[in-house]
Structure 1
Amino acid sequence: MTTTPNRRADELTLLHHGGKGLIEGPRYDSRLGLVFSDARRGGVYALDDHGDVSVLWPHRRGIGGIALHAAGGMVVSGRNLAYRDAGGGDTVVLVEQSPEQGLAGFNDLTVDSRGRVYVGSVAEVAVDGRADDPDRKAGCLYLIGTDGTAEVVADDIQLSNGVGLSPDGGTLYMSDSARGHVLCWDVDADSGRLSARRVFHSLTAGLPDGLAVDEHGHVWVTAARAGQVLELTPDGVLVSTIEVPSPMVTSVVFGGEDLTRLFIVTGAESPEDPHDALILSLELSVRGMQVPRAETPTRVGP
């Protein structure tokens, strides 16, 4: 196994220009292409191989994570965690926000091999850079079962972001953007519960955001505000860097026919940011892990 050489920004292919949006939550589907959200301006979209963009879920803002569903449609985060079918029918709320706990909603997410969803909650007060305010309410990591039950499996996460699982499902990774590091836990295969929390990697520049995992267990994590994607070994060692032509790089996902194409998404940090939201791609010599489809409930009631 070899690591990826460092790559320059001019080696990336520009696929889409998103203006002053904030592109998040990328997922790849062989039929739809690249599925993504615009957290600032709202909506979920699909970018096909011809560069055409279609609307899959209009208007909804604040979506930081997307899971394609085994029954069709998708699960998305935001003010709550919700499912909607591919036909655009009624929205099924899986987990609601909890204002009494100081939680405003949900951010990034992933799915395990059993179709269960791990999703991070976010606190009401916005995080300012790396500041670790002791009075700020921290978020949690929830596990949503295929029967719709929701369980907190980790807490004290200041600003939850990218979530991913190792190829064998035995390790879960999660970015805590406010504290500047990627965490990891051991995963119990049957219950999905977590143990042995530890710091996997601490960033020296930027804030850890979205992430993806390849077939060798390397973790590809975005460094928001630093314009980089970092390749980390299963031991958390930095082995290569991809330079991105926009500082607010928010997430990555592997896609393409053989999962060797890394899609990189960025955003304008504010409407006044001189940098625009972009979707870029880079061909790699390593295959990525396909995120499984969610199997959470698609309707309310018996």
Structure 2
Amino acid sequence: MNPQITSIQPSGLGTELTAVGVALTRPECVLATRSGALYTADWRGGVCQIAPDGTETLFTGTMPDGLTARPNGIALLADGSFLMAQLGDNDGGVYRLTREGQIAPWLMQADGMDLPPSNYVVQDAAGRTWITVSTRLTPRAAAYRGDVADGFIVCVQADGSASIVADGLGYTNEVALHPGGQWLYVNETFGRRLSRFPVAANGALGERETVTEFGAGTFPDGLAFDEDGFAWIVSIVSNRLIRVAPDGAQQRFLEDNEPEHLAWVEEAFQSATMGRPHLDGIRSQRLRNISSIAFAGPDRRTGVLGCLLGNRLETLTMPAAGVAPFHWNFS
């Protein structure tokens, strides 16, 4: 598939973006709510809330094994607590964190298998919870290749039953239900494509379809929809923000990288030698490995970007309003 790609060069990157937060640690995943509060995963061991006035509150606790929580994706629940996808070196699963500081296992197995280090978690209006695992390999960097496809998606029903509903994916990252509810979209980071599955009423998924494929330098991570039915994709390493049309056409809205560094990473990817230094040694003007996008503000026209290697979030004005996420009215 050779998608049409158009680029919109940002004018004055430093003035186009506004920083939010000052003391965050690996704010990989970001959530926005109607109240104006933002929530982000934080590797100090939990979730950080950023109030509309900028006040930061860290919710954390002690893991059952005594180690520090390493949340990657997070979900806000109706009672104000959180689900956290645990991205430990050797442990995974999903934990529930209360605002009082209690952490307890929420889902540790699916189909009789212990969950490996886990990537993302999100709930939907049908009472289902979707969880992604990028790879079964250890270390996870062994899957930074286009020929590895062992990532999977778990669906947890409202009654707590969990099963693997899609497997064989190229480094499964964020998932999102299409606004119409009939498709589950997923980013395959090192498969370098946006895929989708038809969703049955019982949460079962049909056959995978490719929405669009990404070229050199693009490694899709975060995902959100706007009200026009377009998917917004953020890419690690290249710090690209891409709008994908329903027919797969791509429009690049933002990019922040050093071309020589990006070429070095691309060469490593193509030769199957890509590793942590290629992800952790980002070179850019401002963005530090953008990994997540949320639509915020009263009109949901403010894009909020999570940054893997940063200590803050970045915001920018979007050309379309985002779809209200399931947790939008939770406080």
TM-score (norm 2): 0.76
Query: C-alpha displacement at 1:285, in angstroms?
Result: 3.6
- CA 1:87–1:61 in 2, change beyond 3 Å: closer, same or farther? closer
Distance (Å, rounded) in 2 between the aligned partners of 1:177 and 1:80: 20
The question of 1:292 aligning with 2:326 is answered: yes
Match for residue 38 of structure 2 among 17, 31, 34 = 34
- Larger proportion of helix: 2
Q: Deviations over 1:160-184 (max 9, x none)?
A: 2111111111111111112122211
Moved over 4 A (4+): 3-6, 100-103
Q: Deviations over 1:276-298 (max 9, x none)?
A: 4431111224211122149xxxx
- Larger proportion of strand: 1
Which residue of 2 is the match for residue 86 of structure 1? 99
Which residue of 2 is the match for residue 299 of structure 1? none
Contact 1:127-1:178 at 8 Å conserved across structures: no
- CA 1:52–1:147 in 2, change beyond 3 Å: closer, same or farther? same
Contact 1:130-1:179 at 8 Å conserved across structures: no
Which residue of 1 is the match for residue 57 of structure 2? 54
Distance (Å, rounded) in 1 between the aligned partners of 2:55 and 2:109: 34
Contact 2:187-2:194 at 8 Å conserved across structures: yes
Query: C-alpha displacement at 1:240, in angstroms?
Result: 3.4
Distance (Å, rounded) in 2 between the aligned partners of 1:290 and 1:4: 27
Which residue of 2 is the match for residue 15 of structure 1? 20
Match for residue 262 of structure 1 among 274, 286, 303 = 303
Query: C-alpha displacement at 1:211, in angstroms?
Result: 1.0
* Residue ranges of structure 1 left out of the alignment (5+ in a row): 269-275, 295-302
- CA 1:227–1:18 in 2, change beyond 3 Å: closer, same or farther? farther
Match for residue 214 of structure 2 among 177, 180, 203 = 203
Q: Deviations over 1:15-73 (max 9, x none)?
A: 23457x4221211123471100124x432101122222111235743312111112331
Which one-letter code corresponds to 1:193 in the other structure? A
The question of 1:111 aligning with 2:116 is answered: no
Q: Deviations over 1:169-221 (max 9, x none)?
A: 11111111121222111112x21211130222222123110111111111111
Query: How do 1:187-198 residues align onto structure 2 when only pairs under 5 Å count?
Result: 187-188=199-200, 190-198=201-209
The question of 1:127 aligning with 2:141 is answered: yes
Deviates more, 1:148-157 or 1:23-32: 23-32
Query: C-alpha displacement at 1:147, in angstroms?
Result: 1.1
Which residue of 2 is the match for residue 297 of structure 1? none
Distance (Å, rounded) in 2 between the aligned partners of 1:114 and 1:47: 28
Query: C-alpha displacement at 1:234, in angstroms?
Result: 1.6
Contact 1:174-1:184 at 8 Å conserved across structures: yes
Distance (Å, rounded) in 1 between the aligned partners of 2:170 and 2:212: 16
Q: Give the SS at the match of 2:190.
A: helix
Q: Give the SS at the match of 1:49.
A: coil
Which one-letter code corresponds to 2:76 in the other structure? L
Q: Deviations over 1:229-273 (max 9, x none)?
A: 1111122210232234325111111111221111011122xxxxx
Count the aligned residue pairs. 278
Query: How do 1:65-76 residues align onto structure 2 when only pairs under 5 Å count?
Result: 65-76=73-84
Which residue of 2 is the match for residue 159 of structure 1? 171
- CA 1:18–1:160 in 2, change beyond 3 Å: closer, same or farther? farther
Distance (Å, rounded) in 1 between the aligned partners of 2:147 and 2:250: 28
Which one-letter code corresponds to 2:161 in the other structure? T
Query: C-alpha displacement at 1:101, in angstroms?
Result: 5.4
Distance (Å, rounded) in 2 between the aligned partners of 1:71 and 1:277: 27
Report sequence identity in percent: 23
Please report the RMSD computed on the Cα atoms of aligned residues, expressed in angstroms: 2.6
Which one-letter code corresponds to 2:296 in the other structure? G
Query: C-alpha displacement at 1:7, in angstroms?
Result: 3.5
Contact 1:175-1:181 at 8 Å conserved across structures: yes
Contact 2:221-2:236 at 8 Å conserved across structures: yes
Query: C-alpha displacement at 1:103, in angstroms?
Result: 4.7
Distance (Å, rounded) in 2 between the aligned partners of 1:179 and 1:72: 35
Which one-letter code corresponds to 1:156 in the other structure? G
- CA 1:290–1:210 in 2, change beyond 3 Å: closer, same or farther? same
Contact 1:266-1:279 at 8 Å conserved across structures: yes
- CA 1:166–1:4 in 2, change beyond 3 Å: closer, same or farther? farther
Q: Deviations over 1:125-148 (max 9, x none)?
A: 2135741455xx712100111111
Contact 1:96-1:105 at 8 Å conserved across structures: no
